[in-house]
Chains A and B, each alone.
Chain A
Amino acid sequence: MKISRLSIKDYHQFKTLDIDLTYPEGHAKAGQPLDKVCFIGQSGTGKTTLLKLLFECTMSKNGQYPPYKLELDHKLFITHNLHGYETLSTMSGHVHKKLNGKLVSADDLGFGEELNQFINSPHPFLLFFPAELKYQNFNLPQIAEGSTRKIYDFSDDDIQLIWNKILNEIQIHQEKVLSINHDITKIVSNGNKDSEALQQSINELKSLTSSEYSPIKQLAEKCLDPVLKKFKLKVNTDLDIKTKDDLGKIKIVDNHGSEIPFESLSTGTKQVFFSALPLYTVKPANAIIFYDEPERSLYPDLQKMIVEYYTSFTKNSQFFFATHSPIIASSFEPWEIVELKFNDEGYVVQELYYPVNEERHVDNYTIIPQYLTYDSMLHRVFDVKAPNNELRNIKITELLTLKAQLEKLKGKNDTHFNDLYNQYEDLAEKLSWDFKS
């Protein structure tokens, strides 16, 4: 199930917001729901609100609803596809089908039972990552329940739920390896070096410690090391059990093999770990995943890779991001960006990236984030009027003046020319030889 449209009416700052979440005409996937969506917009335009509403509307099921949900019923609809029907869901979980342009309750059409069963049954995986993830410790001894859950809201759930599942798998694997090691030692100490049992145990050990079967090696290769290598760190995949406490523990080491305690890792590194691990662990397919401000505490190089990194863990899933970062936003195609803006009346509207009087067609899009520098992203997408320090343009004026003077003096290799030239090069270097505003 993927969301293909979001309509919201008369709710707080939203007067009439109707967002098409499908690929536009001219695209290979024209008409299909977008694989990923990025909400951008000034603080207060409701990015996080929309993310949360989409999440809650998608997971809606019968039961008690807080007042705001009831208030929203029949004000917010999301369009998706259930069993081949283009269907609209409301906050309270009522399902409707659009018939001749009118909303008709699924019950009235006689297929309500089927659709309501769907609504009340476990949904495809839903994961919500708030801007601030909750995590306390890297290693907790107890194993949390939750592996069978299909909805994770990390605004309420501690991300340890997922982390403990991984640690449990690692511990079970380590205990198996230790057990086989013990068997081998026993066989060897009994003097049966050539026995069939010894060979069998060795083979079993080899297989068990291969990347294919080792959860810690898999975790290192597929999830953590691509990020850790940016900090010159990696997961220690060797079986390094000195005490009982080492069981079910993931050790991060530097290039020299020294262990780095989890507490010493940067906030950004922890943030990536804990936001990627649930995806790595659950490996969701047909999921809807929500990330609020994924750029939190991340250095720009990590922001650049984060969208691709997260999406790589999933299959046929739909992602919703809300961000303030031009780096994150530049990972999206123009039709995947939903820019929210206040209009003159103070209501939030979507800024379209194609002329209003033109068809929503890939060829009509005038803003293509992937073509823009981050400077231009700030100008054209984030509407920042003067992203650079005001001193920069003053210095560019100075440089261009020097250039004009040098052009006039070209050929005169005297002290004045040399002084001006040295000033020019010095300033150009400080401006990174990039003189365009």
Chain B
Amino acid sequence: MSALLENRDLVVPGDALYEGRIRIGDNTYRSQERVCATRLGLVNYNKNMVSVIALEAGFNPLTGDLVVGDVIDIGLGKWIVDIDAATNAALNVPDAIDAPFRTDIDMPSILDIGDTVVAKIVDLDRRRTPILSILGRDLGKVTKGFTIRFTPSKIPRLIGRNGSMVNMILRATGCNIAIGQNGRVLINGRTREQEEMAVSAIQKIEREAHISGLTNRVQEYLRQLKEEKR
């Protein structure tokens, strides 16, 4: 029973990571007596688990995820929302308005095609369709700001431990930032300069997510940007 590689080695799908019995984590699969990688990433050996930190991965919707999406269609009693997942999500009327159900409800007046929402995934139905809700604090239709795209697998780096990275950007730029686990980040600042600074910093994090020492570099970068503005 043994690790076949060094911790944080870069692996491709099919690479054997471990020989023998061990708990398998993200982005791995069992093939006969070995554990192998399913994605390109860095192998991570813990005391009793082996996993791969993926460098490239699409968004895998999980219950509890905060997402930013666009309404692309209106169905019977629900809106269809694009959240950049393998299938579109559904937002049912009772999860959008806190009112008793009425058959003559005017859905476009609540949310129309082309509207953007910040929502939470409250369930995955038996066909694996993500079910959303916009009832709750900081959820609902977005009326101000803009969104940018960000690689979903690198989102944890953007948030940082206990939100340390995103809070650093908030403090330095004064922008409101909502991070969707689905790789869409909502930014709203008072001035365009602030917003451009936030976008710059976020793009730097995406480019350098796999290089250690990121937090310090971003801190320095933000400081430099502020200097230039003066």
> Is this pair of chains taken from one and the same complex?
no
